[in-house]
Amino acid sequence: MDRRDLINKIFEEGRKAGLEDMEVYIQGSNNFNLRVFKGEIDNYSISKEEGLSFRCLYNGKMGYSYTEKIDETSIDMLINEAIENAKVIDSEDIEEIFAGSNTYREVNSFNDKLENVSAKDEIEFIKLLEKEALKLDSRVVSVPHCIFGKQSLYTMLVNTKGLDLENKSNIAYAYVNVMVKENDDVKTSSKYVISNDFSEFDYKALAKQAVDEAISMLGAESIKSDAYPIILRNDVAANILEAFSPIFSAENVQKDLSLLKGKLNKKIANEIITIVDDPFMKGGIASCSFDSEGVATKYKKVIDKGVLTTYLHNTKTAKKDGVQSTGNGFKSSFKSPVSISPTNMYIEKGDKSLDELIKSIRKGILITNVEGLHSGLNTVSGDFSLASSGYEIVDGRINRPVNQITIAGNFYDLLNNVLEVGNDLKFALPMGNGFIGSPSLKIKELSVSGI
């Protein structure tokens, strides 16, 4: 059955069940994934997937249901489950099916050229990446992960209030993880590239970054426990910002789960910090013209020169706060209810290079990797304590590699203790909270635990 016919049938059956405001959200994707190991294709995966999410207002409450079996046999389940789910909602927050924004800015995040890249070329690219990494240095003993992935995605949002939106996008990524060994010392490093322009996939550059960094970590040792000035390299700063991004969600603020409650228009960071959420950013993985509720997205500064200027809102939290939705009402998948998430969110870059930041430190640590972001930090308290590695800085120069340490502090303190912002903005691999970027950040000090 055609998608449109199915949607009409669902609405028709919903009306018979007494429903008025209903919405169908369909998300489909074509995925391709390749892994190579020792020159052979270790995994080759292709898939087409599609999911349909239904929601409706029943006695003023929003009920949700979804299915991956997209045919008529699912209609009864969708309607019955959504009604049953709406019945149990006892939150007083008002939710609605949205009739649409006045205008939508066009966002082009689908690159036709990417679809035309052949599997043969992609296989060749990923094999060359592994080969290059293995030949760059005799100490490279293995490439445990060497992956290429490509996805094209389409979404369709149709509701009974007349909203009818469609969007499509595509993206590709390559990820390499190398293992180097000298005597009994084993080190690894991972690098990635993510873009919908295949010409940006340079296997030589990617292999070199990963191998150079892994080799540079050989012989790493711990360091004396103390408080040290710290540089969080751009990718590390972006990972930490991503992990703490839920604190900007108005939903968490309203539910007493974010310490940003009551901080609107107040200074919460050093004035050199400006955080932007830009859904129109060129090349942004999260670029889009509308959110999962159909609200037009917009550019905004979340922190402007240290001052918190807005929370991220969907229509429900906006109504509660008496403001307009910021167009951040996203579902993490078609299976999920509408929640809140940033689009392309980043700390605006400053003017110092990473080298200049390093030069400005007499004794400190450059952090180039953190682990345990899903467990070693708490978005409610802002506390973090993360297994880390990087390099000791002595008299403005990299002195030696450091590992088996932790860095610990509080994210709210950290925002105030950023002394300088680098000019090297970089985006983290998306982990489900939008596409988040940061330049390298020089921090006054953090607690370091070692020996």
Partner 1 sequence: MLSKSVIEDVLIEALSTGGDFAEIFVEDKFNNSLLMIGGKIEKAVSGRDFGIGIRIFNKTNSVYAYTNNSSRENLLKVAKEAALALDGAKGDITLNLMKSDIKNIHNIVLLPSTIEKSKKIELMKRAYFAAKNYDEVITQVTVRYLDEEQNVLIANTEGLYVEDKRVRTRTAIQTVASRNGEMQSGFYAPGAHMGFEFYEKINIEDYAKEAARIAKTMIYADYCPSGKMPVIIDNEFGGVIFHEACGHGLEATSVAKGTSIFAGKIGEKVASEIVTAIDDGTIPNAWGSQNIDDEGTPTQKNILIENGILKGYMVDKLNGRRMGVKSTGSGRRQSYKYAPTSRMTNTYIANGKSTKEEIIANTEYGLYAKYMGGGSVNTSTGDFNFAVMEGYLIRNGKIEKPVRGATLIGNGLEVLKKIDMVGNNLGFGQGMCGSVSGSIPANVGQPTIRVQSMTVGGRKGE
Asked whether 358 and 387 are in contact (CB, 8 A), the reply is no
Q: How far is the CB of 422 from partner 1 (least distance, A)?
A: 25
Q: How far is the CB of 403 from partner 1 (least distance, A)?
A: 7
Q: Among residues 59 and 336, whose Cβ is nearest to partner 1?
A: 336
Q: How far is the CB of 416 from partner 1 (least distance, A)?
A: 14
Beta strand 140-159 with 22-37: parallel, antiparallel or unpaired? antiparallel
Q: Among residues 256 and 395, whose Cβ is nearest to partner 1?
A: 256
Q: How far is the CB of 228 from partner 1 (least distance, A)?
A: 12
Q: Among residues 3 and 298, whose Cβ is nearest to partner 1?
A: 3
Q: Among residues 14 and 284, whose Cβ is nearest to partner 1?
A: 14
Q: How far is the CB of 250 from partner 1 (least distance, A)?
A: 14
Joined tokens for residue 190: 């991972």
Q: Among residues 103 and 451, whose Cβ is nearest to partner 1?
A: 451
Q: Among residues 179 and 272, whose Cβ is nearest to partner 1?
A: 179
Q: Among residues 201 and 334, whose Cβ is nearest to partner 1?
A: 334
Q: How far is the CB of 8 from partner 1 (least distance, A)?
A: 21
Instruction: Count other Cβ atoms within 10 Å, centred on residue 6.
Output: 18
Q: How far is the CB of 338 from partner 1 (least distance, A)?
A: 9
Q: How far is the CB of 120 from partner 1 (least distance, A)?
A: 11
Joined tokens for residue 423: 């000019």
Q: Among residues 77 and 398, whose Cβ is nearest to partner 1?
A: 77
